[in-house]
């Protein structure tokens, strides 16, 4: 009876066989995840996981965040916290795909059963909503608006991100270097375009009072595709004196090259929002000479604070790069561990979250001028301090600071002008490094 046989074969179709396999696998990998508060915590261990965009077409390196976290755990709390060692059980790669980011966020919670997610660095943090909804303590590099999605998400510089309405830092910088005619160049990619909108906003709101005039705004460059001749011509024709970019290091170097070739390099001062990284300098030093950078943390140099010294030493020890992303990992780990220490023996997710959200002045051991977690999920917070640097003779040099203090600080959260305000910490206790202060100018 071939008919019956064929039907039987047909019925043993893929879904059925698969279900059986899945049940077997599922039971093997352990029970399902729930919302249990002590999930991921045993008497000797606390499990954490992370997600980063290690592969994919975007140029920035996100993967090293795990190194930042691990370095902190190894050097600062090698014996764990309160008798529990902190262990990375998963470091996932979301391949820059939003859907994968979501799946992996879920997987960390439901399959890897982590207690907290420490170390998230990706251009599209689609999984943020899920983690926020499920109240999972999550720590990562705040380059996405999703960090504001809930009280359990903690970025390294606060969880609020508003590219389009920043503080007066850049406008102040332009003014400080004597530029009145200013401009911005960006990619069409939304983060880049938003950054451009923010710079223009800054020039117009804070710079108008000192006579700043926007002579160039170009947000039409396709990402990764680099031809800048149009912008260079416009800069030349308009007599621009300062240009802020919103591009990655490659795009920035193309701009630099273009300016050099057109003989405009000395006339037009450049500010790059990223690239404050020794490896970039090693590659492009001639194209970075005189370019300005800014950081909201203590600059990457020994001699400012012990916190920064520890970070630099740890990175050197394991051979990891010194950059924004590993620093973010370091700070993430520090915040997590600080909270754990304060929570004590009753380690639950809610306790960790509540503890952090009561902190009004968290400095990551002297790396950050101060984060107020009672507000910085939803606004920029009370502190807006910028440390400016310039590449001088092939080295990043701190500029415009005063003595040991490299920062220039502004009113926050709603600044009305670019007039600086005093540093919100006592410089003599904050800048506590035992090493000699680096040269500034």
Q: Which of residues 181-200 bind other proteins (CB under 8 A)?
A: 188-191
Whichever of 221 and 409 has its CB closer to other proteins, that residue is: 221
Contacting range for other proteins; rule: CB under 8 A; set: 217-225, 346-354, 374-382, 398-406: 217-225
- Distance, in Å, from the CA atom of 217 to the CA atom of 245, rounded to the nearest integer, reads 10
Structure tokens at 388: 């400016």
- Distance, in Å, from the CA atom of 99 to the CA atom of 119, rounded to the nearest integer, reads 18
Whichever of 7 and 317 has its CB closer to other proteins, that residue is: 7
Whichever of 5 and 346 has its CB closer to other proteins, that residue is: 5
Contacting range for other proteins; rule: CB under 8 A; set: 50-58, 75-83, 174-182, 346-354: 50-58
Q: How far is the CB of 233 from other proteins (least distance, A)?
A: 7
The residue within the footprint of other proteins, chosen from 36, 38, 42, 59 (CB under 8 A), is 59
- Distance, in Å, from the CA atom of 357 to the CA atom of 182, rounded to the nearest integer, reads 39
Is the CB of residue 152 less than 8 Å from the CB of residue 349?
Answer: yes
Whichever of 284 and 304 has its CB closer to other proteins, that residue is: 284
The residue within the footprint of other proteins, chosen from 138, 219, 326, 376 (CB under 8 A), is 219
153 binding other proteins? (CB under 8 A): no
Residues 80, 85, 90, 91: what is their CA dihedral angle, to the nearest 10 degrees? 20
CB atoms within 10 A of CB 22: 10
By CB under 8 A, the residues from 108 to 147 that bind other proteins are: 110-111, 123-124, 126-130, 144-146
301 binding other proteins? (CB under 8 A): no
Question: Locate tokens 């009672």: which residue?
Answer: 374
97 binding other proteins? (CB under 8 A): yes
Residue among 81, 63, 61 nearest 72 (CA): 81
CA atoms within 13 A on the CB side of 120: 31
Q: How far is the CB of 410 from other proteins (least distance, A)?
A: 27
The residue within the footprint of other proteins, chosen from 9, 78, 319, 422 (CB under 8 A), is 9
18 binding other proteins? (CB under 8 A): yes
Q: How far is the CB of 363 from other proteins (least distance, A)?
A: 30
Residue among 86, 199, 103 nearest 139 (CA): 86
The residue within the footprint of other proteins, chosen from 31, 78, 319, 436 (CB under 8 A), is 31
By CB under 8 A, the residues from 238 to 297 that bind other proteins are: 248-251, 257, 260-261, 283
Q: How far is the CB of 125 from other proteins (least distance, A)?
A: 9
């Amino acid at each position: 009876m071939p008919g019956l046989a064929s039907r039987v074969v047909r019925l043993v179709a893929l879904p059925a066989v698969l279900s059986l396999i899945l049940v077997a696998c599922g039971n093997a990998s352990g029970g399902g995840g729930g919302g249990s508060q002590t999930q991921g915590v045993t008497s000797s261990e606390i499990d954490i996981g992370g997600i980063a965009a290690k592969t994919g077409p975007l140029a920035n390196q996100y993967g090293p965040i795990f190194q930042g976290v691990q370095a902190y755990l190894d050097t600062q709390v090698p014996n764990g916290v309160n008798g529990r060692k902190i262990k990375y059980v998963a470091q996932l790669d979301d391949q820059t795909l939003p859907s994968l980011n979501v799946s992996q966020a879920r997987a960390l919670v439901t399959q890897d059963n982590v207690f907290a997610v420490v170390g998230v660095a990706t251009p599209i943090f689609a999984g943020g909503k899920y983690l926020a909804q499920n109240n999972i303590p999550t720590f990562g590099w705040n380059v996405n608006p999703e960090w504001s999605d809930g009280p359990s998400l903690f970025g390294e510089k606060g969880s609020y991100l508003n590219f389009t309405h920043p503080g007066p830092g850049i406008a102040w910088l332009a003014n400080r270097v004597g530029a009145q005619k200013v401009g911005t160049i960006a990619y069409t990619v939304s983060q880049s375009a938003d950054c451009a909108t923010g710079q223009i906003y800054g020039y117009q709101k804070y710079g108008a009072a000192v006579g700043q005039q926007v002579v160039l705004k170009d947000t039409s460059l396709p990402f990764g595709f680099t031809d800048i001749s149009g912008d260079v011509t416009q800069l030349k024709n308009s007599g621009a004196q300062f240009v802020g970019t919103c591009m990655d290091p490659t795009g920035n170097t193309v701009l630099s090259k273009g300016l050099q070739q057109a003989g405009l390099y000395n006339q037009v001062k450049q500010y790059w929002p990223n690239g404050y990284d020794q490896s970039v300098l090693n590659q492009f030093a001639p194209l970075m000479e005189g370019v300005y950078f800014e950081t909201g943390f203590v600059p990457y140099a020994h001699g400012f604070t012990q916190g920064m010294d520890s970070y630099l030493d740890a990175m050197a020890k394991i051979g990891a790069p010194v950059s924004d992303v590993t620093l973010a990992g370091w700070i993430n780990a520090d915040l997590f561990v600080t909270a754990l220490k304060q929570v004590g023996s009753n380690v639950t997710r809610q306790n960790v979250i509540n503890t952090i959200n009561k902190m009004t002045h968290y400095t990551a051991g002297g790396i950050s001028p101060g984060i107020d977690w009672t507000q910085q999920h939803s606004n920029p917070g009370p502190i807006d301090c910028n440390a400016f640097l310039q590449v001088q003779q092939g080295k990043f040099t701190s500029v415009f600071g005063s003595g040991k203090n490299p920062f220039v600080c502004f009113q926050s959260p709603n600044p009305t002008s670019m007039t600086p305000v005093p540093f919100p910490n006592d410089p003599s206790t904050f800048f506590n490094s035992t090493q000699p202060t680096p040269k500034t100018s």
